[in-house]
């Protein structure tokens, strides 16, 4: 069961993961459908997943929160702000939703809630996000939230035996309208 709600939206809330959530995180980050979008090349043991969780809990340069449905309290995904640099006001963002829950707007709302947190509470100025060019759902989510495409980085990631192109996006704090406006714009990965 996830920890207490940290931020609440209409259909999801962001919760810090607890020890018992490690299995959920481990299972889905190893799922080929999710792992492909994360461009994770190496298998990870449960013990390694637990160490990663502990690192996020102890290190202020990143925050990983579970995306949990408001109605059933079920974890459906994860959103992460990482490489947070308070001196320069920058961070990178990543998110995923379990395959059984994709297409329901959870990625959009969870990402919007994380953006609210990073811009308002962490006082960051620039958030960067990346998606493989073929990952149309993630790209639609980012574009729907107002991220601007900076460019395509050719053959930047190695996924499933081939180098793939990556779309790099960014958003400035002054461009962020908040979760309500973002959800009205669309994006539903």
Q: Is the distance from CB of 121 to CB of 22 less than 8 angstroms? A: no
Q: What is the structure's pLDDT at 187?
A: 42
Q: How far apart are CA 96 and CA 23, in angstroms?
A: 15
Kindly state whether residue 141 falls inside one of the protein's structural domains: yes
Pairing state between β 126-132 and 90-97: parallel
**71-117 pLDDT per residue, tens:** 878 999 999 999 999 999 999 999 999 999 999 999 999 999 999 99
Q: What average pLDDT score do residues 170-185 get?
A: 73
Q: Is the distance from CB of 72 to CB of 50 less than 8 angstroms? A: no
Q: Is the distance from CB of 91 to CB of 122 less than 8 angstroms? A: yes
CA torsion, ordered 161, 66, 146, 126, to nearest 10 deg = -90
Between 19-33, 77-91, 125-139, the lowest mean confidence (pLDDT) is in 19-33
Kindly state whether residue 2 falls inside one of the protein's structural domains: no
pTM flag (> 0.85): yes
Kindly state whether residue 126 falls inside one of the protein's structural domains: yes
**149-171 pLDDT per residue, tens:** 999 999 988 888 889 999 999 99
Domain count within the chain: 1
Exposed e or buried b for every residue in 131-159, given b needs 16+ CB within 10 A?
bbeebebbbbbbbbbbbeeeeeeeebbeb
Q: Is the distance from CB of 130 to CB of 167 less than 8 angstroms? A: yes
Q: Which domain holds residue 19?
A: 7-185
Kindly state whether residue 1 falls inside one of the protein's structural domains: no
Kindly state whether residue 82 falls inside one of the protein's structural domains: yes
CATH of the domain at 17: 3.40.630.30
């Amino acid at each position: 069961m996830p920890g207490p709600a940290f931020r609440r939206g209409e259909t999801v809330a962001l919760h810090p993961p607890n020890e018992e959530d490690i299995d959920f995180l481990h299972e889905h980050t190893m799922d080929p459908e999710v792992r492909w979008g994360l461009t994770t090349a190496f298998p990870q043991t449960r013990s390694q997943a637990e160490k990663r969780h502990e690192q996020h809990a102890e290190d202020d340069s990143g925050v990983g929160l579970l995306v949990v449905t408001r109605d059933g309290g079920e974890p459906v995904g994860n959103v992460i702000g990482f490489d947070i640099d308070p001196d320069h006001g920058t961070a990178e963002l990543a998110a995923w939703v379990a395959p059984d829950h994709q297409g329901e707007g959870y990625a959009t709302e969870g990402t919007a809630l994380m953006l609210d947190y990073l811009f308002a509470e962490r006082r960051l100025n620039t958030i960067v996000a990346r998606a493989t060019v073929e990952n149309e759902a993630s790209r639609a989510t980012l574009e729907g939230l107002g991220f601007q495409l900076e460019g395509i980085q050719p053959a930047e990631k190695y996924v499933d035996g081939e180098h793939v192109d990556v779309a790099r996006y960014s958003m400035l704090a002054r461009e962020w309208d908040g979760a309500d406006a973002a959800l009205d714009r669309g994006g539903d990965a």
